[in-house]
C-alpha cells in the first residue's frame, strides 16, 4: 500500500430518517409487496455505499447491511433455521428470515440478546445438532452487487466462526471445538469464492477475542485461522476485534492473517500498551480503530493524529489503516439534519458520516503530514473548545459538589433491621403486600394528548388537567383492584429516561439521532452534554396529587442514575462516574423534595444496571462500586420511616447479587416469571435479607394469568425467601398493556396474594 488507507467496519442500516425501519414495517404490515420491499432496501444499501464513496473512504464494507440482524444473516447463510419454522433447504426465503426474528402464530421467535456491551440486540442462533451448509455466499453476492452497480471494490464483512458459535445456543460447552470445526470448511468455501472473484480484503469479525476467553479457546482460534489461511491463500484476511482490548495479545499477533483490527478507544489503553510492549509483525497490516465508533462526539483531530504518529513508530505508515473503533451501527447516521440543535453542541457532534470523514482526514494527515489537514484540525479544535468553554460545561455549583462528594452522607441513618421495624409501624401493610412497578397503560389517548401539547395545540394547563384525570382514574382503579401500595401511573412520561433528561439541565435531544436497538426498533438516546443540574422538581406535582386522592401509600417513581447514564450518549470530557454522580445529586434533591411533600415510599429504577457491566471481569468491581455509590448518593438522605424501593427487569443477577445487596434498598422488585423461576435457584445459594418482590406474572403478554399459576409462583418463592419480606408485584411496568387486561391480571394477582396470605397464617397457627 502506498498511501494510508481509510476504512469503515460497518455502516448504520436505518437511514438518515429511518427509511429502512419504515420499509420493514410496511412490508410486515402487507402494505408493500415483497418486490417493492426488496427494491427499496436495495436502494438503501447502494445509497449507503455511495455515501461512503463520496466521503472518500478507501475500503468500504459490503455485506454489513442487514434486513434485521447480522447474526441472523450469518445463521441463515448456513441454512440454520430452527425446526419449528418451515424450511426445506436452499436459500432461506425472506419471509422465513423474518419469521425466525419475529415469530409466527405457531412458532415462537428466536431468542434475542445483547450484542456484547452495546444496546444492540442480536438473534441467538439455534444450532441443535443441525448440520450447517452454505446455502448462499452472502458476502460474495454483496461484493458483486457493489462492483457491478457502483464499481466499488468492497471489503466483504463476515462474522467469524469462533464468535458465531460462541454466541449461538443448542450445543453443549464441551462440544464447542467440534462445532466450530464444522463451520471451518464452509468459511473456507466463502473465502475461496471471494478469492476467485478477485476480492483483496475480507474483514472477519471476532469480537470474542476482546473478551476474557480461555487458553483452549485461543488455541482453537489459531487452528481455525491456520486452516482458513491455507484454504484461501490469495485473499487477505483482516481479523477484526472491537469493544475492548485483545485478551491474548501475543497469540493474536502471530495468527496467520494479513491484518489485525484493534479497538484503540474502548481498550482501557491496553491495546496501545501491548503494541508498545510487543511491537507488531512486519508482515501484517494494523487496522487502527482510533475514532470512537460508539459515541457521538467530534474527534479531536490534533490529538488523534499525534496518537497515530505514535503508532507509526511501531507499525510503518503504509501498513496502517485508519478507521472507527467498531461498526458505526451504534451511532446515528448524520448530524446534517439536526437543524434545531444548539449550534455549539451541534458543532461538537460527529455521527457516522462525520466520523467517516474524520477517518479520511486522519489518513491524509498521517500520509501527507499535519499541514495537509491544518484547516480541518482548526475547525475541530475550535468546535470542541467552544463546547468545553460553554456555560453548560462550567456549572461551578455542580462541579464543586462533585469535588466535595465526601461531605455527603451516603448511608441510611439506621441499618435495615431498624428501618424495617419503623417502616412496618408506619405503613401497617398486610403480609405479602401487593403493588405494581410504576407505569399504567399509555393509551392512544394519552399519547395523542401529549403530542397535541408538544405541538402547542393544547395548553400546558389543559394537558395537566388531562394527566390529572388519568391519575385520578387509576387511583380509583387501584382501590377497586385492592392493591396495598399505589403508584401514580407515569402518564406524563414518554420514556423513563427522556422525561428526566427534559427536566434536568445538561441534556439535549436530537431530532434524528436514532440507533437500532433490535430489528426495526430504534432508540434515540438523550445527549448528556453538560453538567447535570436540578432546576425544578421533576415528579413532585403528579405524585403529590396522586397521594392526595388516597390513604394508601403512593410510591414516588424515579429513574436511577446508572440507567440514565447507560441509556444516553454521555460527554467524554469527564469521567462517566462523575456524570453518574451529577445525576445522582440531582435525584437526591428530588428524593428529599418528595419526602418533604409527604411521599414516604420512593422507587428508584435501575433496569440498566446489569447491562452496563464491562466486558472484562477485571473492570466489574470498579463499575459496580460506582453504580452502588451513585444509587446511594441519590437515595440515602431520607428518614428511617421512608421506604426506598428499586426495580430491575431481569433475573440473571447471580453475578451482581453483592452489588444489589449493597444498594441497601428497603425493597427490590425484579423479573422472574419469564425465566421460569431460574432466579429462585439463585436464592437457594444466596440469601437475600431485605424486602423483595419477584414478578409473579409476565407483563409482556396480554394474557390474564390463572389464579393457580400465581399462587404456585408465590409459594415456590416463599420456600427460599422470607415471608415477612416478600412482596407481590408484576414483572415490570404496565405501560404497553391495555386497560382491561391490566385490571384483570392485577385482580388475579391480588386474589392470589390473599389466598397465600391466608394459608400462611393458618400454617402459622
Ligand atoms: N417504573 C418503570 C415502569 O413501570 C420501570 C420500567 C422498567 O423497568 N424498564 O414503566
Ligand atoms: Zn422493568
Nearest CA-CA partner of 152 in 73, 63, 284: 63
Tell me how far the alpha carbon of residue 72 lies from the centroid of ligand 2, in angstroms. 27
Which residues are within 8 A (CB) of 711 and not within 5 positions of it... i.e. 6 or more apart?
A: 752, 755, 756
Tell me how far the alpha carbon of residue 64 lies from the centroid of ligand 2, in angstroms. 32
Q: Is 357 left (phi over 0), alpha (psi -120 to 50) or beta?
A: alpha
Q: Are 502 and 527 in contact (CB under 8 A)?
A: no
Q: Whose C-alpha lies nearest to ligand 1, atom 6? A: 733
Task: State whether residue 558 is helix, strand or coil.
Answer: strand
Phi and psi at residue 518, to the nearest 5°: -160, 145
pLDDT at 762: 79
d(CA 755, CA 511): 50
Is 255 within the bounds of a domain?
Answer: no
- Asked whether 441 lines ligand 1 (CB < 6 A), one says no
* 651 or 63, which is more confident: 63
C-alpha cell at 475: 387511583
- Asked whether 438 lines ligand 1 (CB < 6 A), one says yes
- Asked whether 730 lines ligand 1 (CB < 6 A), one says no
d(CA 295, CA 118): 11
Question: Which residue is associated with the grid cell 423474518?
Answer: 98
Q: Which residues are catalytic?
A: 700
Q: First-to-last CA distance in the chain?
A: 85
Is 512 within the bounds of a domain?
Answer: yes
Q: Whose C-alpha lies nearest to ligand 1, atom 1? A: 438
Give the distance from CA 631 to its chain's centroid: 20
Residue 661, CA distances (Å) to 515, 562, 595, 686, 740 in order: 33, 16, 23, 11, 36
C-alpha cell at 648: 430491575
Question: Which residue is associated with the grid cell 487458553?
Answer: 215
Counting ligands in written order, the one closest to the CA of 736 is 1
- Asked whether 557 lines ligand 1 (CB < 6 A), one says yes
A 10 A CB-CB count for 553 gives 21
pLDDT > 80? residue 1: no
Is 760 within the bounds of a domain?
Answer: yes
The residue whose CB lies within 8 Å of the most ligand 1 atoms, and thus the one to mutate among 119, 436, 438, is 438
- Asked whether 608 lines ligand 1 (CB < 6 A), one says no
Is 355 within the bounds of a domain?
Answer: no
User: Tens digit of pLDDT for each residue in 10-26?
Assistant: 999 999 999 999 999 99
Mean confidence (pLDDT) of the chain: 96
Of the chain, the percentage scoring pLDDT greater than 90 comes to 93
pLDDT > 60? residue 124: yes
pLDDT at 654: 79
Is 603 within the bounds of a domain?
Answer: yes
Average pLDDT over residues 274-278: 97
Is 21 within the bounds of a domain?
Answer: no
Tell me how far the alpha carbon of residue 487 lies from the centroid of ligand 1, in angstroms. 12
User: Tens digit of pLDDT for each residue in 303-359?
Assistant: 999 999 999 999 999 999 999 999 999 999 999 999 999 999 999 999 999 999 999
The residue whose CB lies within 8 Å of the most ligand 1 atoms, and thus the one to mutate among 436, 489, 494, 496, is 496
- Asked whether 437 lines ligand 1 (CB < 6 A), one says yes
Nearest CA-CA partner of 585 in 633, 625, 539: 633
Nearest CA-CA partner of 352 in 336, 339, 376, 365: 336
At 652, which CATH number?
Answer: 3.20.20.210
Nearest CA-CA partner of 197 in 158, 150, 234: 234
Tell me how far the alpha carbon of residue 37 lies from the centroid of ligand 2, in angstroms. 35
User: Tens digit of pLDDT for each residue in 59-116?
Assistant: 999 999 999 999 999 999 999 999 999 999 999 999 999 999 999 999 989 999 999 9
A 10 A CB-CB count for 699 gives 24
C-alpha cell at 515: 440507533
Beta bridge partners of 205: 159, 240
Confidence class for position 240, pLDDT limits 50, 70, 90: very high
Is 430 within the bounds of a domain?
Answer: yes
Confidence class for position 700, pLDDT limits 50, 70, 90: confident
Confidence class for position 704, pLDDT limits 50, 70, 90: very high
d(CA 752, CA 708): 8
Q: What is the per-residue burial (b if ≥16 Cβ within 10 Å, else e) of 269-296?
A: ebbbebbeeeebeeebbbbbbbbbbbbb
The residue whose CB lies within 8 Å of the most ligand 1 atoms, and thus the one to mutate among 439, 560, 650, 693, is 439
Sign of the C-alpha dihedral computed for residues 93, 98, 101 and 102 taken in this order: negative
Q: Which domain holds residue 585?
A: 417-764
Q: Is 13 left (phi over 0), alpha (psi -120 to 50) or beta?
A: alpha
pLDDT > 80? residue 237: yes
pLDDT at 701: 84
The residue whose CB lies within 8 Å of the most ligand 1 atoms, and thus the one to mutate among 546, 603, 607, is 607
pLDDT at 702: 86
Which residues are within 8 A (CB) of 275 and not within 5 positions of it... i.e. 6 or more apart?
A: 262, 286, 311, 314, 315
- Asked whether 319 lines ligand 1 (CB < 6 A), one says no
Q: Are 543 and 599 in contact (CB under 8 A)?
A: yes
Counting ligands in written order, the one closest to the CA of 672 is 2
d(CA 655, CA 660): 10
Q: Whose C-alpha lies nearest to ligand 1, atom 5? A: 733
pLDDT > 80? residue 674: no
**Number of domains making up the chain:** 1
Phi and psi at residue 459, to the nearest 5°: -80, 165
Nearest ligand 1 atom to the CA of 732 is 8
Phi and psi at residue 490, to the nearest 5°: 60, 30
pLDDT at 655: 83
d(CA 515, CA 243): 17
709-714 CB contacts, 8 Å cutoff, 24+ apart:
710/748, 710/749, 710/752, 711/752, 711/755, 711/756, 713/672, 713/673, 713/677, 714/432, 714/752, 714/753, 714/756
User: Tens digit of pLDDT for each residue in 510-542?
Assistant: 999 999 999 999 999 999 999 999 999 999 999
Tell me how far the alpha carbon of residue 558 lies from the centroid of ligand 1, in angstroms. 9
- Asked whether 347 lines ligand 1 (CB < 6 A), one says no
- Vertex 496, ends 613 and 441: CA angle to 5°? 125
Task: State whether residue 62 is helix, strand or coil.
Answer: strand
Nearest ligand 1 atom to the CA of 648 is 8
Question: Which residue is associated with the grid cell 485508519?
Answer: 322
Question: Which residue is associated with the grid cell 452497480?
Answer: 149
User: Tens digit of pLDDT for each residue in 405-456?
Assistant: 999 999 999 999 999 999 999 999 999 999 999 999 999 999 999 999 999 9
Q: Whose C-alpha lies nearest to ligand 1, atom 4? A: 733
- Asked whether 647 lines ligand 1 (CB < 6 A), one says yes
In what helix (H) or strand (E) does residue 28 lie, and over which residues does it extend?
helix 19-28
- Asked whether 373 lines ligand 1 (CB < 6 A), one says no
C-alpha cell at 570: 454521555
Phi and psi at residue 694, to the nearest 5°: -95, 125
Is 634 within the bounds of a domain?
Answer: yes
- Asked whether 487 lines ligand 1 (CB < 6 A), one says no
- Asked whether 607 lines ligand 1 (CB < 6 A), one says yes
Q: Are 41 and 401 in contact (CB under 8 A)?
A: no
User: Tens digit of pLDDT for each residue in 538-574?
Assistant: 999 999 999 999 999 999 999 999 999 999 999 999 9
pLDDT at 651: 65
C-alpha cell at 746: 392485577
Tell me how far the alpha carbon of residue 731 lies from the centroid of ligand 2, in angstroms. 6
Tell me how far the alpha carbon of residue 439 lies from the centroid of ligand 1, in angstroms. 6
pLDDT > 80? residue 670: yes
Nearest ligand 1 atom to the CA of 733 is 4
C-alpha cell at 193: 469464492
Q: Whose C-alpha lies nearest to ligand 1, atom 3? A: 733
Of the chain, the percentage scoring pLDDT greater than 70 comes to 98
User: Tens digit of pLDDT for each residue in 599-638?
Assistant: 999 999 999 999 899 999 999 999 999 999 999 999 999 9
d(CA 431, CA 747): 17
Amino acid at each position: 500500500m502506498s498511501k494510508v488507507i481509510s476504512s469503515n467496519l460497518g455502516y448504520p442500516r436505518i437511514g438518515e430518517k429511518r427509511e429502512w425501519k419504515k420499509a420493514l414495517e410496511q412490508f410486515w404490515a402487507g402494505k408493500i409487496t415483497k418486490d417493492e420491499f426488496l427494491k427499496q432496501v436495495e436502494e438503501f444499501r447502494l445509497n449507503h455505499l455511495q455515501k461512503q464513496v463520496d466521503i472518500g473512504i478507501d475500503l468500504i464494507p459490503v455485506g454489513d447491511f442487514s434486513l434485521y440482524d447480522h447474526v441472523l444473516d450469518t445463521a441463515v447463510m448456513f441454512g440454520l433455521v430452527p425446526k419449528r419454522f418451515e424450511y426445506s433447504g436452499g436459500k432461506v426465503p425472506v419471509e422465513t428470515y423474518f419469521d425466525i426474528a419475529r415469530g409466527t402464530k405457531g412458532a415462537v421467535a428466536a431468542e434475542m440478546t445483547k450484542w456484547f456491551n452495546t444496546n444492540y440486540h442480536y438473534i441467538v442462533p439455534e444450532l441443535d445438532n443441525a448440520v450447517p451448509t452454505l446455502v448462499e455466499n452472502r458476502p460474495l453476492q454483496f461484493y458483486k452487487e457493489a462492483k457491478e452497480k457502483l464499481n466499488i471494490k468492497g471489503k466483504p464483512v463476515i462474522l467469524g466462526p469462533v464468535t458465531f458459535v460462541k454466541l449461538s445456543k443448542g450445543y453443549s460447552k464441551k462440544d464447542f471445538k467440534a462445532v466450530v470445526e464444522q463451520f471451518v470448511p464452509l468459511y473456507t468455501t466463502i473465502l475461496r469464492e471471494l478469492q476467485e472473484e478477485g476480492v483483496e480484503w475480507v474483514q472477519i469479525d471476532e469480537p470474542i477475542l476482546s473478551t476474557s476467553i480461555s487458553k483452549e479457546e485461543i488455541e482453537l482460534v489459531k487452528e481455525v485461522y491456520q486452516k482458513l489461511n491455507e484454504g484461501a491463500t490469495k485473499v487477505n484476511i483482516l481479523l477484526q476485534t472491537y469493544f475492548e482490548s485483545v485478551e491474548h495479545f501475543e497469540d493474536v499477533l502471530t495468527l496467520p492473517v494479513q491484518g489485525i483490527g484493534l479497538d484503540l478507544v474502548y481498550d482501557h489503553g491496553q491495546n496501545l500498551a501491548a503494541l508498545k510492549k510487543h511491537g507488531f509483525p512486519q508482515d501484517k497490516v494494523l487496522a487502527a480503530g482510533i475514532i470512537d465508533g460508539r459515541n457521538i462526539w467530534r474527534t479531536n483531530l490534533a490529538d488523534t493524529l499525534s496518537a497515530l504518529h505514535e503508532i507509526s513508530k511501531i507499525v510503518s505508515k503504509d501498513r496502517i489503516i485508519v478507521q472507527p473503533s467498531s461498526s458505526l451501527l451504534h451511532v446515528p447516521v448524520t448530524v446534517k439534519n439536526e437543524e434545531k440543535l444548539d449550534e455549539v453542541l451541534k458543532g461538537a457532534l460527529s455521527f457516522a458520516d462525520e466520523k467517516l470523514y474524520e477517518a479520511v482526514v486522519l489518513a491524509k494527515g498521517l500520509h501527507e503530514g499535519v499541514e495537509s489537514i491544518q484547516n480541518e484540525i482548526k475547525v475541530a479544535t475550535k468546535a470542541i473548545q467552544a463546547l468545553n468553554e460553554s456555560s453548560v460545561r462550567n456549572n461551578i455549583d455542580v462541579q464543586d459538589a462533585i469535588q466535595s462528594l465526601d461531605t455527603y452522607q451516603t448511608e441510611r441513618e439506621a441499618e435495615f433491621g431498624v428501618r424495617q421495624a419503623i417502616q412496618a409501624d408506619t405503613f401497617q401493610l398486610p403480609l405479602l403486600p401487593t403493588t405494581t412497578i410504576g407505569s399504567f397503560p399509555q393509551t392512544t389517548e394519552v399519547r395523542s394528548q401529549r403530542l397535541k401539547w408538544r405541538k402547542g395545540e393544547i395548553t400546558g394547563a389543559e394537558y395537566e388537567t388531562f394527566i390529572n384525570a388519568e391519575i385520578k382514574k387509576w387511583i380509583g382503579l387501584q382501590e377497586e383492584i385492592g392493591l396495598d401500595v399505589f403508584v401514580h401511573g407515569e402518564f406524563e412520561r414518554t420514556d423513563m429516561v427522556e422525561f428526566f433528561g427534559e427536566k434536568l439541565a445538561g441534556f439535549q435531544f436530537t431530532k434524528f439521532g436514532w440507533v437500532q436497538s433490535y430489528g426495526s426498533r430504534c432508540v434515540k438516546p438523550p445527549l448528556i452534554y453538560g453538567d447535570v443540574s436540578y432546576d425544578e422538581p421533576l415528579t413532585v406535582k403528579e405524585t403529590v396529587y396522586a397521594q392526595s386522592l388516597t390513604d394508601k401509600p403512593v410510591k414516588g417513581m424515579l429513574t436511577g442514575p446508572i440507567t440514565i447514564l447507560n441509556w444516553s450518549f454521555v460527554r467524554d470530557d469527564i469521567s462517566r462516574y462523575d456524570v453518574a454522580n451529577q445525576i445522582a445529586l440531582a435525584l437526591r434533591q428530588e428524593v428529599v423534595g418528595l419526602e418533604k411533600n409527604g411521599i414516604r415510599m420512593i422507587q428508584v429504577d435501575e433496569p440498566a444496571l446489569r447491562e452496563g457491566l464491562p466486558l472484562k471481569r477485571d473492570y466489574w468491581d470498579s463499575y459496580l462500586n460506582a453504580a452502588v455509590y451513585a444509587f446511594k448518593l441519590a437515595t440515602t438522605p431520607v428518614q428511617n420511616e421512608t421506604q426506598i424501593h428499586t426495580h430491575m427487569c431481569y433475573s440473571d443477577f447471580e453475578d451482581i447479587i453483592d452489588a444489589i445487596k449493597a444498594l441497601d434498598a428497603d425493597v427490590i422488585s425484579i423479573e422472574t416469571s419469564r425465566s421460569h423461576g431460574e432466579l429462585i435457584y439463585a436464592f437457594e445459594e444466596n440469601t437475600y435479607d431485605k424486602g423483595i418482590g419477584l414478578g409473579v406474572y409476565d407483563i409482556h403478554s396480554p394474557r390474564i394469568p390463572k389464579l393457580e399459576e400465581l399462587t404456585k409462583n408465590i409459594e415456590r418463592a416463599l420456600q427460599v425467601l422470607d415471608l415477612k419480606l416478600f412482596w407481590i408485584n408484576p414483572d415490570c411496568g404496565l405501560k404497553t398493556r391495555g386497560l382491561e387486561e391490566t385490571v384483570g391480571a392485577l385482580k388475579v394477582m391480588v386474589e392470589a396474594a390473599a389466598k397465600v396470605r391466608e394459608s400462611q397464617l393458618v400454617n402459622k397457627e
